[in-house]
Amino acid sequence: MGEKHKVVQGEHFAAIAAAKGHQNFLPPWNAAENESVRTKRKTPHILLPGDEVEVPELAQKDEQAPTEKKTRFQVSGVKLKLRLEIRTVSNDPAKKVPCSLTVEGADKTEDLDGQGRIERLIPNKSKAGKVVIRDATLPLTIEDELEIGGLHPLDTVTGQIGRLNNLGYDAGPLEEPTSADAKLRFRSAVEEFQCENGLKVDGVCGSGTQSKLKEVHGC
Give me the CATH number covering residue 122: 2.60.40.10
Q: Which residues are CB-contacts of 12 (< 8 A; sequence separation ≥ 6)?
A: 44, 45, 46, 47, 148, 149
Q: Are residues 142 and 176 in the same domain?
A: no
* pLDDT (tens digit per residue) in 151-201: 999 999 999 999 999 999 999 999 999 999 999 999 999 999 999 999 999
Among the three residues 132, 148, 164, which one is the final residue of a domain in this structure?
148
Asked whether residue 64 is assigned to any structural domain, the reply reads no
Q: What is the CATH number of the domain that holds 22?
A: 3.10.350
pLDDT class of 73 with cuts at 50, 70, 90: very low
When divided into structural domains, the chain yields a total of 3
Collapse the DSSP code of 90 into the 3-class scheme (helix H, G, I; strand E, B; otherwise coil) and give the result.
Answer: coil
Asked whether residue 21 is assigned to any structural domain, the reply reads yes
Whole domain around residue 35: which residue ranges? 3-55
Asked whether residue 14 is assigned to any structural domain, the reply reads yes
Among the three residues 92, 122, 148, which one is the final residue of a domain in this structure?
148
User: What DSSP designation does 151 have?
Assistant: P
pLDDT at position 72 over 90 = no
- The DSSP element (H or E) to which 18 belongs, if any, is helix 13-19
Q: Count CB atoms within 10 A of the CB of residue 24.
A: 16
Residues 29, 52: Cα–Cα separation, whole Å: 12
Contact 15, 149 (CB under 8 A): yes
Q: Are residues 87 and 144 in the same domain?
A: yes
pLDDT of residue 56: 83
**Buried-state track 89-114, b at ≥16 Cβ within 10 A, e below 16:** eeeebbeebebbbbbeeeeeeeebee
Asked whether residue 65 is assigned to any structural domain, the reply reads no
Asked whether residue 169 is assigned to any structural domain, the reply reads yes
Q: Are residues 137 and 171 in the same domain?
A: no
* pLDDT (tens digit per residue) in 106-162: 999 999 999 999 999 999 999 999 999 999 888 889 999 999 999 999 999 999 999
Q: Are residues 87 and 104 in the same domain?
A: yes
